[in-house]
A and B are shown apart, each in its own frame.
Chain A
């Protein structure tokens, strides 16, 4: 590596990075700046600064939308910015709220001297950023219009890290130039791509297996672009804007896909929980609490057997605790089951608690018998069965394999329709037979009605007998007339639909079973007379046998 570093520093410029600390999502019950949000008990800013420091960045500028004094205090207390180490400067930007606003502030202050890394405060990245920088420099040397190199991490479509509802579709040319960048609606079945995209030349790639950690290397031309376009609020706006205006302004973007390296964001509750789990599962090593990420939150030691990363003074009772991060002073009772949890300092967890995928901030109390998965409990909450102030996070089950992805969604749609169709048919036939019995309509006409209903709802031939039998057998209860008369009246209909085929017989038996259950469960009129129930059932069977004989 030393020779390549000399290459980077040839022009005697200071390697800079900009960390954008924009507004935290309101889902989080946290009033401070985003950089001070705790991820696995360590501040998010520490992860970002560690990643940059490892890349050899010499000066980091943290642009904070709010809470800059707190950030400054944290930077000082942690020992970031000491002489000889990376310089960290926190810049307060009053009145700036979004990513775009903070970038405009950056442009106004003219603090950038050359290529710089651009991250958000919630980026957690273990990748070595130096190859990314080298690639950007090489690209800029080749293509004078190249402005930014975006970094993406790989994550298959069913990956837990893909927490956003709208996933990214990226189109790149063979050189890595970004040709398309869209966020796809999960329900959308169609995709619009401009044709000239495909006609760019050989080697065009369309990738749907990427996640966006909001990490990029930008050149000097990027901050002015934000100033020129006042409507750029998020990074996505920026990317889309550049793509749209490519012909006019001529700026190009390039994409770099990280191989075998971890990068993700913790900006929304689901992604925060997913990233916490990644830290616990060691995917973010060496950015983990026990490898002294931060000078302030120190003293974590890893119990290798059970993967428990805990500070001093933690007492765990006779519990089943595995894959957890536990802050100091916390007490865990007996008979608990904790999996993939982050527990802050001085928490008290009583006996018989079952938690999975939970994040508890400092000084929480969990009462006995509490059981929940996938939630965030803010500081000083008391969680009990009756009084649950935690914030749940919906986590989808991702146990399906990738291949059955498309099939299952189609089946679901069809199944929903099928159920409706059968129900429709059932209801229609029931209505017509009830009316028929009441008005003494000819059974042939009723058969016509049933047939039309059957074709309207597209019922397959082998299932008609089942549903018709169900209707007929349920009629005595529905009409509140004795079964003898009802069945005798509808005998021709049954005869027509329950023919000689054994499948029909089976269907009929099934219908009998179902209606018998219904009779017994809904036998309110006969509540006081169980014998009458049995009698009516026996009567039904006798009728069926008689019908068969005929």
Chain B
């Protein structure tokens, strides 16, 4: 047992190292790497019954997320895969799709789930789990394509689209639309997203694909919104309620769009769906927001500021579900009111997944 523990330890540490240093870049790559890690655990010989596997994944997952507190994708993928393992067990035990259907649908009913100890021996369970994980990994690989396929229907010619900051998936979405038809002229207005000002890089990306791009500062969002027909946002997380945890400034964009009756579309693959319900409801260990380095807002070398002024630089913004119209993901487009059900299918009931992992999730 001990030697197997240390085997995972080395791989886990290398994974954490690579993600932290930016050797693995982008949330998609991080998600794939995490899925590979769980695949490795599942294919090893260290477990015989489902509860063992769940325990190992739980332990390793705890340590991994502790080492990577700023990468929510890691926690999401781990939780989703754990739910998959449970679903496979349930199917293996009951051998009927109806039972699994009930399991998935009755996710609200967590007493049933609590009774399940996941400790029965099931031949073929390992293969089933490995197959399902392989399916999940394929889904990840195809996530960008599945999303960009929907670009053609989401964006009409002649539209003026606003976005804020930089999101690679939104850029891919827009580039796909540009490439799809010969004559799709639509414009994009990019808000810079201070203080990171990643919007500048986004504007460069879009301009390279010959999309008509305008770059504005965050303070001009209100004045431009009257000309905008659609807002497309990327996000860090989509919450169960349909709200978002996105970059600072997103709330403002949502609010202004709401006032101007402009639809807000969020482009997010499933590994960005979070089991967090909303910004106020959080389990013991989750934190919704963090204060990042004020260096983006003011300079440390300015002595007056550094010693006397409190400089706040929050990492995330909460966008309430009221401001969001649709979520475009690789499993389809959802209206915001369907997000709760959609996420329940991925994670199980709120209480069940909250007990999982018990780690410092950010």
Q: Could you tell me which A residues sit within 8 Å of B by CB distance?
A: 1-2, 5, 53-54, 56, 82-85, 126, 153-162, 209, 260-262, 277-278, 281-286, 290-292, 295, 298-299, 301-302, 304, 307, 312, 323, 398-399, 401-402
CB pair A291 B310 closer than 8 Å: no
Interface string of B306-345 (1 = CB under 8 A from A): 1110111110000000000000000000000000000000
Known A83-B9, A84-B10; contact A291-B290, beta-carbon cutoff 8 A: yes
Contact status of A282 and B293, CB under 8 A, knowing A83-B10, A84-B17, A160-B307: yes
Q: Is the CB of A307 within 8 A of B66?
A: no
Say whether B291 contacts A399, CB under 8 Å. no
Nearest CB in chain A: distance from B244 CB, A: 17
Q: What are 26 residue pairs bridging A and B, where the CB atoms are less than 8 Å apart in the complex?
A: A5-B23, A54-B21, A56-B21, A82-B10, A84-B9, A84-B10, A84-B14, A85-B13, A126-B293, A155-B306, A261-B295, A281-B294, A281-B306, A282-B293, A282-B313, A284-B293, A290-B290, A291-B362, A292-B67, A292-B69, A298-B66, A302-B287, A302-B291, A304-B291, A398-B304, A402-B303
> Are B9 and A282 interface neighbours, CB within 8 A?
no
Q: A84-B9, A283-B293, A292-B66 are in contact. Are A155 and B303 (CB under 8 A)?
A: yes
Query: Which A residues are in CB contact (< 8 Å) with B6?
Result: 83
Residues of B within 8 A of A160 (CB): 303, 306-307
Q: Which residues of A contact B287 (CB under 8 A)?
A: 290, 301-302
Select which of A153, A157, A159, A285 is within 8 A of B307 by beta carbon: A159
Smallest beta-carbon distance A312→chain B, Å: 8
Contacts of B294 in A (CB 8 A): 281-283
Contacts of A54 on B, CB cut-off 8 Å?
20-21
- Contact between chains at A285 and B17 (CB < 8 Å): no
Which residues from chain B contact A401 at a C-beta distance below 8 Å? Answer: 304
Contacts of A159 in B (CB 8 A): 301, 303, 306-307
Chain A residues within an 8 Å CB radius of B11? 84
Q: Known: A82-B13, A84-B12, A85-B13. Is A262-B313 also a contact (CB below 8 A)? A: no
CB of B30, distance to nearest CB on chain A (Å) = 15
Q: Is B299 an interface residue (CB 8 A)?
A: yes
Counting contact residues on chain B (CB < 8 A from A), the size range is 35 or more
Considering only residues 260-317 of chain B, those with a C-beta below 8 Å from chain A are 284-285, 287-295, 299-304, 306-308, 310-314
B314 touches A304 (CB 8 A): yes
Most A CB contacts (10 A, CB to CB) among B13, B288, B301, B312 go to: B301
Which chain A residue lies CB-closest to B23? A2
Interface flags, B1-34, vs A, CB<8A=1, else 0: 0000010011111101100111100000000000
Q: B293 touching A285 by the CB < 8 A rule?
A: yes
Assembled-state Cα–Cα distance A53/B67 (Å): 12
Total CB contacts across the A-B interface at under 8 A: 124
Tell which of A162, A292, A302, A399 has the most Cβ of chain B within 10 Å.
A292
Q: Mark B25-64, 1 if CB is under 8 A from A, else 0.
A: 0000000000000000000000000000000000000000
Say if the beta carbon of B70 comes within 8 Å of chain A: yes
CA distance A160 to B284 in the complex (A): 37
When distances are taken between beta carbons in the complex, the residues of chain B under 8 Å from A323 are 310
B302 to chain A, nearest CB (A): 7
Of B11, B12, B306, B312, most A-chain CB atoms within 10 Å: B306
Residues of A contacting B13 in the complex (Cβ-Cβ under 8 angstroms): 82-85
Known contacts A84-B11, A291-B69, A304-B289: A260-B300 contact under CB 8 Å: yes
User: Complex: how many Å from CA A181 to CA B301?
Assistant: 20
Contact of A283 among B69, B290, B306 (CB under 8 A): B306
Bound together, the chains give a CA A85 to CA B12 distance in angstroms of: 9
B69 and A156: CB pair below 8 A? no
Cα(A298)–Cα(B70), bound, Å: 15
Ranked 3 nearest A-B pairs via Cβ: A84-B13, A159-B303, A160-B307
Out of A158, A262, A302, name the residue touching B290 (CB < 8 Å). Answer: A302
Q: Is the CB of A156 within 8 A of B302?
A: yes
In the assembled complex, which residues on chain A have CB atoms less than 8 Å from the CB atom of B293? 126, 262, 282-286
Q: A83-B10, A282-B311, A291-B69 are in contact. List 18 more A-B contacts (CB 8 A).
A: A1-B23, A5-B23, A82-B10, A84-B17, A155-B300, A261-B295, A278-B300, A278-B306, A281-B306, A282-B292, A283-B300, A291-B70, A292-B360, A295-B66, A307-B310, A398-B304, A398-B308, A399-B308
Expressed in whole angstroms, the minimum distance between the Cβ of A214 and any Cβ of chain B is 18
With most chain B CB atoms within 10 A of its CB, the pick from A56, A84, A262, A299 is A84
B17 touches A307 (CB 8 A): no
Which chain A residues lie closer than 8 Å to B300 at the CB level?
153-155, 161, 260, 262, 278, 283
Chain B residue contacts of A262, Cβ below 8 A: 293, 295, 300
B residues in contact with A302, CB < 8 Å: 287, 290-291
A277 to B10, CA, bound (A): 36
Bound Cα distance from A262 to B67, whole angstroms = 22
Please measure, in the bound complex, the distance between the C-alpha atom of A53 and the C-alpha atom of B21, giving whole angstroms.
Answer: 9
Could you say which residues of chain A place their CB within 8 Å of the CB of B310? Answer: 281, 307, 323
Residues of B within 8 A of A158 (CB): 303-304
- Looking at the assembled complex, report how far the CB atom of A6 sits from the nearest CB atom of chain B, in whole angstroms: 11
CA of A54 to CA of B70 in the docked complex: distance in angstroms?
Answer: 14
Partner of B299, one of A260, A292, A304: A260
CB neighbours (8 Å) of B289 from chain A are 304
B236, chain A: closest CB distance, angstroms: 15
Instruction: Check B291 against A282 for contact (C-beta < 8 Å).
Output: yes
Bound-state Cα–Cα, A307 to B17, Å: 29
| Contact among B12, B66, B288, B292 for A285, CB-based, below 8 A | B292
Residue of B nearest to A295 (CB): B66
